[in-house]
Structure 1
Amino acid sequence: MTPARLSMAYSPCPNDTFTFHAWAHGLVPGAPEVDVTYADIDVTNGLAERGGLDVLKISYAALPWVLDEYALLPCGGALGRGCGPLVLAREAHTPADLAGRVVAVPSERSTAYLLFRLWAAREIPGGVGEIRVMPFHTIMPAVRDGVVDAGLVIHEARFTYHEFGLVSLADMGEAWEADTGLPIPLGAIIARRSLDLPALAAAARASVEHAWSDPAASRDYVHAHAQEMSPAVQEQHIALYVNAFTRELGDEGYAAVHALLDRAADEGLVPRVSREALAFPGR
């Protein structure tokens, strides 16, 4: 049974505000009203682990720790191609030169960091020296200013890192796609298992479709929450991260999620997750 009003958390990034604008503003007929908390991915991952909210956007990498209480919804999330996290530095050098260095990451439970760990196990003999968790929008300035030696960045950093005088050492998405042939699973939408999951999935799907049918309707909402981003970059961000997988994971999307979590479990980085735990009712 789903109450008439739910608590929900997602990031202030353009892909999330674009995707959920219609639902958050009561434009999806029959959908429960939502009280929205805007927070970076490290915060929403923690909120999910504490079980504090009804519906959340989290990292796919955080799923193994929350699936007892939450179910993965098959829509509303972020997967794609050509949209992987980047490893940035002030100057070009080889990945092996990161050995013993300080690297900033957006969350220890982020998909970006999980992909980085899988990549670094092959490319950085001996491993990095220190991992430092920072809000994602502070990582590029920290790299630029020498606070850290390199940074693992997500979201719109793909479009703006040149403005900070930085260079890309590696693209985690390119490495993943070359290795698996699958899209990159980044952000997942989860909901309490005690709720009406099909109804919530339908609300998320309808919100995506509303956003696509009337992109201008969400423009002010997206702009109000975007963190120091030009309208042109906001549009690039949405075009890259809101795609067919946002509307429906489908077989390829589920295959990507299974591959990520299976590989991470094989390396001892996350608990093993069964197919049943990831399955959506009726699928």
Structure 2
Amino acid sequence: MSTLTNNNNKLKLGFSPCPNDTFIFDALIHHKIDTEGLDFEVSYEDVESLNNKAFGKEADITKLSFYAYAHAAENYVLLDAGSALGFGVGPLLICSDKKWADIHAEFNLDTIVGIPGKYTTANFLLGIAFPQLVNKRIMLFSDIERELLSGKIDLGLIIHENRFTYQEKGLHKIIDLGDFWEKETSSPIPLGGIAIRRDLPDELKQKVNRLVRKSVEYAFANPQSGLDFIRSHAQEMSEEVMYKHIELYVNRFSVDLGETGRRAINTLFDRAHALGLAPKTNKKLFLN
């Protein structure tokens, strides 16, 4: 049962503490825009926690990986605003031992790879590019570099701000899976989207979509407005890396998916279905 059935206007909203999400939602949750009578109960979670909570319908509105959405589409529908798609934004497969740095290295069943979650789009891409890498260790995305350096894993699949810092730690890129996807499909890589529960009233779903778009547009027009809020959730990240992160993941697709964004998401779904990695649904994927 949705929160709004309890005679109030507070919705449960989940997103990550990463700069792209806090940048997008700052104006919305801090009422820098007119929220049209809505308020939000916010929870901050890493992407795989958000994915798993979506499977349990714990949030009214949530950020989730597009691959996870393939498993949650019966209960959620995608908003047009707030998504993370783009070119050159994909997850990286990295290593500490240069012997792995040649992408033609013979990965085998014993090769241990650290991944940021089973239902992340990153893991989905890894499965397409290197189906032989089945010895996976699920861990918090921010722990993967440390596990590589300690020798506990052979390869690491990194997302978010780690793509800006891995080289400083002496780690090496094997492949950019975003580049891999772009060459395969000629589409931007769909990383994560914003979904809302299907059982909420249609008018409310449209209102939330409109407000998220306004929040993104406000952030673009006032990029310094949410600096303190963004920094407070960015852990040890430098301001330079923080804004690189935002510039990479917040773009025109975050304002509106458009035909190109929708085509990329449909392509991901088609690939997942063809490989038997996600269930099919008769529900429409997009709100509008």
Which of 96, 107, 112 lines up with 2:122 in the alignment?
112
Which of 13, 27, 39 lines up with 1:22 in the alignment?
27
- Residue-by-residue CA offset, 1:182-237 (whole Å, 9 max, x unaligned): 00000110111122211110010000011011111100111000132100000100
Give how far 1:158 is off. 1.3
Q: Which runs of 5+ in 2 are unaligned?
A: none
Distance 1:209 1:129 in 2: 41
Counterparts of 1:41-190 in structure 2 under 5 Å?
A: 41-92=47-98, 93=100, 94-95=102-103, 96-99=105-108, 100-121=110-131, 127-190=132-195
2:268 corresponds to 1:271: no
TM-score (norm 2): 0.92
TM-score (norm 1): 0.94
How many equivalent pairs are there?
275
Distance 1:120 1:261 in 2: 18
Partner of 2:245: 237
The sequence identity of aligned pairs, in percent, is: 37
Distance 1:61 1:102 in 2: 22
Secondary structure of 1:37's aligned partner: strand
Which of 220, 230, 235 lines up with 1:222 in the alignment?
230
Worse-matched range after superposition: 155-164 or 81-90: 155-164
Secondary structure of 1:6's aligned partner: strand
Q: Is the 8 A contact 2:12 2:59 kept in 1?
A: yes
Q: Is the 8 A contact 1:262 1:272 kept in 2?
A: no
What is the CA RMSD across the aligned residues, in angstroms? 1.4
Distance 2:134 2:217 in 1: 45
Q: Which runs of 5+ in 1 are unaligned?
A: 122-126
Report the AA paired with residue 111 of structure 2: R
Worse-matched range after superposition: 150-159 or 24-33: 24-33
Give how far 1:174 is off. 0.3
Distance 1:164 1:270 in 2: 36
Give how far 1:129 is off. 4.9
Distance 1:185 1:80 in 2: 7
